Amino acid sequence: MTLDPSAVGAKGDPTRRSWTSKDSLLYAVGVGAGTSELAFTTENTKDTPQRVLPTQAVILGGGGVPLQKAGEFNPALMVHGTEGIELYREIPPEGEIESVGEITGIWDKGKAGVIEMESTATLVDSGEKLFKVKMSLFCRGAGDFGGDRGPTPTFELPDRAPDHQVTYATREDQALTYRLSGDRNPLHSDPSFAKMGGFDRPILHGLCTYGFTGRALLHTLCDSDPSRFKSMDGRFSKPVMPGDELTISMWVDGKKALFQTKNQDGDVVLDQGECTFA
C-alpha cells in the first residue's frame, strides 16, 4: 500500500454539517468539562448562556477532503499526526456549516506516508467564514513510494519553567463518551481492532487529548472566553490511554503561547504546540 503524491491540490465537493445545542454539550463532556464549566456543559443555568469550546471545530469541520484520492493505506495502521484550528469568530452552540477540503501535502517517510489536508468552514445562514481545520495522518506501511520526505519543523521550548501548568485526569471510559461526538473508529473502543493496530487495548482519541489541552489553554490564557481563542496547533507524539492523567504546560509570549502535554509518567503526548489568543 502506498500513497499518491499527485493527489496534492485535489479539492473535494462542498459538504454540509449541522449541529445542535445537545451536540455541543456532549462534546464538552467528552473532553472532560464538568460542573465547574457550566457555560459549556449546560444550556439552562441562570445568567450563564451556553457557549462552545473552540476545539469543537475539529468535530464539526474537516469535511470535504477527497481522501480517497490520496492512495491506499490500512486504517488500522493509521494514526493522527498533527491537528490545527484557526477560528475567525466564536462557534455558536448550534448551526450549519459548509466545508471545502483540500489535500495539501503527501510525504514519504520511508516505512510510512503522511497525508496533510485542510478544510475551511463557512456558516450557511450568513456566508461568514467560521474556522479552518488542518490535520495530517501518519499512515504506517504506506511509504517508500519515492516521494519527498517533506519539511522538518523546528520547535524549541524556552529554557525556563512554564508560566502555567494545568493537570486533568481522563476517565477509564473517556473514549466511549468522546466517540458519541462522531469519531466511531473502533481503534478507540474495540479491543480486537486495537490489537490489529499494535495496541494492547483501545487508545484515547488523539482529538480527545487535543480537546483536554484546548480546555486548559482556554481557561488559562483566555479567561474561559472562547471569543479570545484564535488558533491552536500541535503534533501527537504518543498515544494516550483512557484513565491517563494529562498535564498541560504553557510558555506565554504576548498573545502567543507554546505548549506541551505530558502523561502521568512524564511522556510527551502532544508536542510542538502553539496557541494564539486575543
Active site residues: 183, 188, 203, 206
Q: Shortest CA distance to 184 belongs to which of 55, 30, 37, 48?
A: 30
Q: What's the rounded Cα separation, in Å, for the pair 217 and 173?
A: 23
CA angle 242/180/100 to nearest 5° reads 110
Neighbours of 9 (CB within 10 A): 9
* Phi, psi (degrees; rounded to nearest 5) at 80: -70, 130
Please list, residue by residue across 233-253, b when 16 or more beta carbons sit within 10 angstroms of its beta carbon and e when fewer do: bbbbbbbbbbebebbbbbbbe
CA angle 89/64/113 to nearest 5° reads 110
The answer for residues whose C-beta is within 8 angstroms of residue 159's C-beta and 6 or more apart is: none
